Amino acid sequence: MAGMDLGYGSQVQIVRTNYLTVLTDAPATVQQMANYLEMYNNLMTSRGRGYSNLVCDYIGSHAHAPSDAAAGTGANVLPLITTASANVPFGGNHANPKTSGFGGGGTQLKPLAVLSVTGIEFTNNTLTAAAYVPVVLADNITAQVNAELLIDNLGAVADGDVSTGMLPHTLNLDGMFDDVAAAAATGTVLVSSIAADAFVSAGNAAGTTATSLSDYGTLGAAAVGIVSVVCLARVAA
């Protein structure tokens, strides 16, 4: 798709974005949420021998917003996955554009059309088995997501581009998030059990063993899910 011009004066590309959804047991800080996402992505990458379609771009909790004052600054941590905060970033856009200064500047991906949206839930506590989350709510189908995307061009979306006629840089995925939340609702994820400064990244200079899934204690089966969306996006400054 590189080089295609749809009349917007810039290139477009097809982008897949994955959102890791967790049912936390208690509020975690932005850094703790980001750490859990890093641990999860390292796990999936190692299992895939360097690559996995399960790697996620963002993380969010169905139950708790980040607990610290910096909750609006995490680049890959969603404030809260609920219907009330339905518009979410995609494709590497900053997770909190209004509070981070990304609303009016910086390179952004602008969604033109949603090609597919789907969800899965992990069905065991080792994240080695998963199941499809069937469509329950009508607003998680691509037709409605695309309709909402068109409506957002009227300036209705509060994502930093609130001027009438502006292309937004978020997607409304509340239906899919709600369906995954309803399916992945057994047990909890102990994201806050490891302090931010106790987390050990993979490949650290000291060669210390990286924080792993088991370090977080017992993970409730069906407490983690993924929402995955593929869309056609405009690259725009």
- What does the alpha-carbon distance between residue 112 and residue 15 come to, in Å, rounded to a whole number? 11
Go through 41-69 and write b for each residue having 16 or more CB atoms within 10 A of its CB, e for each that does not: bbbbeeeeeeeeebbbbbbbbbbbbbbee
Q: Determine the pLDDT at residue 139.
A: 65
The predicted model scores a pTM of: 0.88
Mean pLDDT per 10-residue run, the chain (237 residues)? Answer: 49 92 92 96 92 94 83 79 69 72 58 92 94 79 85 66 65 86 88 94 89 92 93 82
Q: Determine the pLDDT at residue 161.
A: 47
- What does the alpha-carbon distance between residue 184 and residue 224 come to, in Å, rounded to a whole number? 6
Classified as helix, coil or strand, 224 is: strand
Q: Phi and psi dihedrals of 71, rounded to 5?
A: -60, -20
Q: Determine the pLDDT at residue 105.
A: 47
Q: Determine the pLDDT at residue 165.
A: 61
- What does the alpha-carbon distance between residue 62 and residue 76 come to, in Å, rounded to a whole number? 15
Tokens for 157, please give them: 């979306």
Q: Determine the pLDDT at residue 166.
A: 67
Tokens for 131, please give them: 């199941």
